[in-house]
Structure 1
Amino acid sequence: MASFQRRWAQVQDVRFLVTTQPRRNVYEKYRDKLEQKAREEGVPDIDSLKKVYTDKIQGVRKQDVAHPLTPGQQTPQTGAQTAGTAGATQAQQSPARPNSKSQITRLDDLLDLEKVRTLPSRELEAIWRLRHANLPNSLVAAIPADTFKRMESLAKSHPQFVLPVPHESEGAEMHFLQWTWDAESKTSTVLFTQLAEYKLRGEWAVPHTTLTHYTELAGEKDVVLMRGVVQSDRGISTESVRWLVLCLQRFYGGWDGQKQDIVRSEERKRLLEWFTVGDGRFSVQALLDEAERMG
């Protein structure tokens, strides 16, 4: 990606947005309707209504992961080049599986695991890319298991963060990310939401992008398969999401196994730590500086 010159507008410091009360405006705007809905549900107030719908809210936030992809371009991750194989079509399909409690599409719904387990890792990666090749607004990657292990280790300590998408003529737009884990499907998922949307709606906000990392084959094939879905009606392009994925990899140590500036790597980790604990040393300007160096 081309390097971005320093033309970004000043951005308000956002380190405390996670702990504020971003839903106040929404409640005021829809208070009458929410109170009416609470009465219909037989609960005393809006807070009680929220508790009733907690599971449903979480389901909506992850609905993009549960539904089949409509999405088709690759992230700048490592992996085998796309190549046809004799058993590709068969390996991309798997028998129907009974519904599970997990809302995330499992890997054996996307690939015939019995077949792909017999293939070399390079062919597995090629099949994974072919599986998503014709799906617009999608992202796909095959991540070395050790690399993902490094990223996930940081993610468990710092499951929330903010990342910028630079726009030379409009400054930088900030995006909130959150890691979640699902033991049943053996996945780690990253949810991306515009920070303005998250500030307004909090946990009611619906992400514009979901990245699901499948770890089921990490032990035997030394690879974690990733697929992402970008919602076309959420005001962000696939190209901008690629930039977010690049920043995600970099800030969460995905490139630390390569030759790099150790000082810069430590600075990115410090920004993660400071954001997590609300340390005053975290600054959006420092975040923008680090993102700019990745151009």
Structure 2
Amino acid sequence: MAAARVPALRHLLSCQPRVLHASNQRRWAQVHDVRFLATTQQPRNVIEKYREKLDRKAREEGHPDIESLRAAYADKIKNLRKETDTVTAPLRGATPGAQAPPPPSSSSSSPPPPQSASSSTATQPSQEQQQQQQQQQQQQPRKSSSSPTGLKPLSEILDLPKASALPQAELTAIWRLRHAARPNSLCAVIPAATFAAMEAMARTHPQFVLPVPHPEQGAEMHFLQWTWDPPTRSATVLFTQLAEYKARGEFAAPHTTVTHYKDLMDRGGGDGDGAAAGQPGVVLMQGTVLEDRGVKVADAQWLVMCLQRFYGGWDGSGGEAGKERAEERRRLLEWFGKGDTRFSVEKLMEEAERMG
């Protein structure tokens, strides 16, 4: 009997450390809710991962930063989340392993059982609930713009009926005061006839180059491109450093974005007796100079002034000499657009120096 007990005793002694070790593991083990860990992680890693692409997308659509791009697409993101919630709602309440009920057979002739009055009133919303839902829908903010570019219409910036009734001097003062607090912003109030001449030239020649003189380093060339957004009745000019445009092409990031709103161009053309009748039509321009792009606000102002000059904004000034200079600028635009060898940077510099 003693010999029979020895192997059993040895087996018990050899198993004891493993049992103690296992009990210690169970005692000090910690269980984490995976759902909590998955839902409480900060989305910063995702934003940092795609920051370059989001920054590029914002610049292409004329936004100063990613937050502005997110605000422009807020409604679209909200609608997508609603659609996702609608699709996944039946799955959230399902029991794991349970099978979905089979669809009703069209060949079944037995009618569904009638519902009682209490069940019908529980499933159908009351009139008060319907009224509350209608009020909530009416109070929801409207979409900022129907434009795919995300640009804000002028109606969301100014009260158009009131603005159209203001004299040009007062409207100009209000427009400038609105942008006075932003040091990197540009603004102007352009007469309707002046902008009409500029836009006609831009439709034919939407791309051009302009120089920015630097006394210590010579001149730096910048590439400009016109774009139009019919939903917001606006025309935008994107300024990009020519070196970056040559290196990156359509993916080059603009350093300055200038948008012209044409909502008030024909405010004085009505036959009514309102205050707007008789007021000259104007175009409101606003722009943004992005930081860390190597361009100062003074350089962007110079580019906007050159833009107006070369696109026929000041053709009527200067008498005969002014008309001759305007014709020379028009020829440079045409030569650049056609790739004519007569276009030269030296001639472009000469015309730009005459404006200084």
Quote the Cα distance in structure 2 between the aligned partners of 1:123 and 1:112: 14
Work out whether residues 65 and 212 of structure 1, in 8 Å CA contact, stay in contact via their aligned partners in 2.
no
Aligned equivalent of 1:144 = 191
Quote the Cα distance in structure 1 between the aligned partners of 2:333 and 2:306: 12
How do 1:1-295 residues align onto structure 2 when only pairs under 5 Å count?
A: 60-64=59-63, 67=68, 97-102=142-147, 103-220=150-267, 221-260=280-319, 261-295=322-356
The residue identity in structure 2 corresponding to 1:276 is: G
Quote the Cα distance in structure 2 between the aligned partners of 1:248 and 1:233: 23
Quote the Cα distance in structure 2 between the aligned partners of 1:280 and 1:272: 12
Q: What is the TM-score of this pair, normalised by structure 1?
A: 0.69
Q: What is the TM-score of this pair, normalised by structure 2?
A: 0.57
Q: Once the 2 structures are TM-superposed, how far is the Cα of residue 116 of structure 1 from its aligned partner?
A: 1.6
Work out whether residues 144 and 156 of structure 2, in 8 Å CA contact, stay in contact via their aligned partners in 1.
no
Structure whose residues are more often helix by fraction: 2
The residue identity in structure 2 corresponding to 1:287 is: L
Quote the Cα distance in structure 1 between the aligned partners of 2:265 and 2:142: 22
Work out whether residues 179 and 189 of structure 1, in 8 Å CA contact, stay in contact via their aligned partners in 2.
yes
The residue identity in structure 2 corresponding to 1:242 is: Q
Quote the Cα distance in structure 2 between the aligned partners of 1:200 and 1:270: 28
Q: Once the 2 structures are TM-superposed, how far is the Cα of residue 174 of structure 1 from its aligned partner?
A: 0.3
Q: Aligned pairs, how many? A: 216
Q: Once the 2 structures are TM-superposed, how far is the Cα of residue 100 of structure 1 from its aligned partner?
A: 2.7
Give the unaligned 5+ runs of structure 2.
1-52, 70-139, 268-279
Note the alpha carbon deviations across 1:142-177, whole angstroms, 9 max, x for none.
000000000011000000000000011101100000
- The percent identity for this pair of structures is 58
Quote the Cα distance in structure 1 between the aligned partners of 2:230 and 2:289: 24
Quote the Cα distance in structure 2 between the aligned partners of 1:111 and 1:198: 34
Quote the Cα distance in structure 2 between the aligned partners of 1:293 and 1:63: 31
The residue identity in structure 1 corresponding to 2:187 is: V
The residue identity in structure 2 corresponding to 1:213 is: H
Q: Once the 2 structures are TM-superposed, how far is the Cα of residue 65 of structure 1 from its aligned partner?
A: 7.0
Q: Once the 2 structures are TM-superposed, how far is the Cα of residue 58 of structure 1 from its aligned partner?
A: 6.4
Distance 1:96 1:137, change over 3 A: farther
Q: Once the 2 structures are TM-superposed, how far is the Cα of residue 127 of structure 1 from its aligned partner?
A: 1.1
Task: Give 3-state SS (helix, strand or coil) of 2:232's partner.
Answer: coil
Work out whether residues 187 and 214 of structure 1, in 8 Å CA contact, stay in contact via their aligned partners in 2.
yes
Quote the Cα distance in structure 1 between the aligned partners of 2:230 and 2:185: 24
Work out whether residues 65 and 104 of structure 1, in 8 Å CA contact, stay in contact via their aligned partners in 2.
no
Note the alpha carbon deviations across 1:184-230, whole angstroms, 9 max, x for none.
00001000000001001010011000010000011004100000100
Q: Once the 2 structures are TM-superposed, how far is the Cα of residue 239 of structure 1 from its aligned partner?
A: 0.4
Task: Give 3-state SS (helix, strand or coil) of 1:217's partner.
Answer: coil
Quote the Cα distance in structure 1 between the aligned partners of 2:311 and 2:177: 27
Which aligned segments of 4 or more residues in structure 1 are displaced greater than 4 angstroms? 56-59
Note the alpha carbon deviations across 1:62-116, whole angstroms, 9 max, x for none.
2327949xxxxxxxxxxxxxxxxxxxxxxxxxx9641333121211121111322
Task: Give 3-state SS (helix, strand or coil) of 1:184's partner.
Answer: helix
Q: Once the 2 structures are TM-superposed, how far is the Cα of residue 59 of structure 1 from its aligned partner?
A: 5.6
Work out whether residues 65 and 105 of structure 1, in 8 Å CA contact, stay in contact via their aligned partners in 2.
no
Q: Once the 2 structures are TM-superposed, how far is the Cα of residue 57 of structure 1 from its aligned partner?
A: 6.5
The residue identity in structure 1 corresponding to 2:284 is: L
Task: Give 3-state SS (helix, strand or coil) of 1:229's partner.
Answer: strand
Task: Note the aligned Cα RMSD (angstroms).
Answer: 2.3
Q: Relative contact order: is structure 1 or structure 2 higher (C-alpha 8 Å, sep ≥ 6)?
A: 1
